Structure 1
Amino acid sequence: MNLWFRMIRVIIRALLGRKLDPLGLSVVHFRVWPHDLDVNMHMNNGRYLTLMDLGRLDLMIRTGMGRLLLRERWMPIAASAMIRFRKPLLPFQRFRLETRVLCWDEKWFFLEQKLVQGDRTVSVALLKGCMRVSGGHVPPSDIFEKVTGRAHPAPEMPETVQRWVEAEDAVKEQV
């Protein structure tokens, strides 16, 4: 039930908060609650990914993609993620979740999401996703154009993302 309350809180704050540029940084604040913990008494690794869903929700609403998504009946899909856990989050610690779009290609968005406690990054993730529509996907460039009202060239793909995509393609060939 905790995640429902967190989701409702994120939606309300996003709707009431300041609008973001589509390439802006979304920041959502959380606290580690007892039901977020695993047997090692720190935040469960699965919870990181679940909370990252809420960061993407905040980003979509505050950039205007949320309304567009509902109107066009698009479905956001997370295709894959890579996450690095650096430090544990302990009971009752406050932290923030930072989410931003790094770049895109003809089909995929690539996002970076960080959990930050104080001034240290405790976890960083890359996520690849798209917007699905009946019969296919919506090119990210079309989405950015509809949100901003102008053509928006994709930022250059960071080397880290390029390497991840290459590694993912190698794994995909084995499946």
Structure 2
Amino acid sequence: MNLIFRLLAVAAAAILAALRGRRAGLLEPSTLKFRVWPTDLDINLHMTNARYFSVMDLGRADLMIRVGLGPAILRNRWQPVLGGATIRYRRSLRPFQRFTLVSRVLCWDDRYIFMEHRMETPGGLAALAVVQGAIVGANGVVAPAEVLATLGTNAASPPIPDAVAALRGQSLPAA
């Protein structure tokens, strides 16, 4: 199954959920269920590394629509982009295997929003990624505070986890 069909299915489901009043809170996880299709495979007959990131794009799209950012993105001509990512592969995803993608916002700073993506199977965690994203407008990066204001909140960021501190290039506290 081509990724464009997955994108259309995810967007349609998220829009329908939002129209039915089932908006997600900013810190609530988005959960999507997928299956590994032959077009997702590499020469080793497991999901190719690049496809993990493509599927995670779908998780971010779902989350943005469900929290209510869709109209602001369209109205302001904003573009969500990634500035960095780190991933840990734990298990292979085999042909036709089902898996769940759980995406959630971890925290934000004055410039970036940090998210976690977990690919889970009944056998356990297949992959875990932490990504650094931004919303870009005509004048550059849109501050997360401005993005949050479009959602009607001025919530403070949760504490920055160690994984995010490492992605930001900060040194971790001594053990």
| Both structures adopt the same fold (TM-score exceeding 0.5) | yes
Partner Cα separation in structure 1 for residue 79 and residue 135 of structure 2: 5
Tell me, yes or no, if the aligned pair for 1:96 and 1:115 is still in contact at 8 Å: yes
Match of 1:146 in 2: 150
Percent identity between the two aligned chains: 42
Matched, 1:161 2:164: yes
Higher helix proportion (structure 1 or 2):
1
- Secondary structure in 2 matching 1:161: helix
Tell me, yes or no, if the aligned pair for 1:104 and 1:154 is still in contact at 8 Å: yes
Q: For 2:34, which of 20, 24, 30 is the aligned residue?
A: 30
Tell me, yes or no, if the aligned pair for 2:23 and 2:67 is still in contact at 8 Å: yes
Tell me, yes or no, if the aligned pair for 1:110 and 1:127 is still in contact at 8 Å: yes
Deviation at 1:166, TM superposition (A): 1.6
- Secondary structure in 2 matching 1:166: coil
Tell me, yes or no, if the aligned pair for 1:145 and 1:152 is still in contact at 8 Å: no
Partner Cα separation in structure 1 for residue 37 and residue 80 of structure 2: 28
AA partner of residue 153 (structure 1): A
CA deviations 1:30-60 (Å, max 9, x no partner) are 0001111111111111100011101100001
Aligned length: 167
CA deviations 1:54-107 (Å, max 9, x no partner) are 110000100001111111111111111111100000111110111101000000
Partner Cα separation in structure 2 for residue 127 and residue 152 of structure 1: 20
Q: Closer, same or farther in 2 for the Cα pair 1:38/1:167, shift >3 Å?
A: farther
CA deviations 1:136-164 (Å, max 9, x no partner) are 211112211221x2311111101121122
Unaligned runs of 5+ in 2: none
Moved over 6 A (4+): none
Tell me, yes or no, if the aligned pair for 1:23 and 1:101 is still in contact at 8 Å: yes
TM-score by length of structure 1 reads 0.91
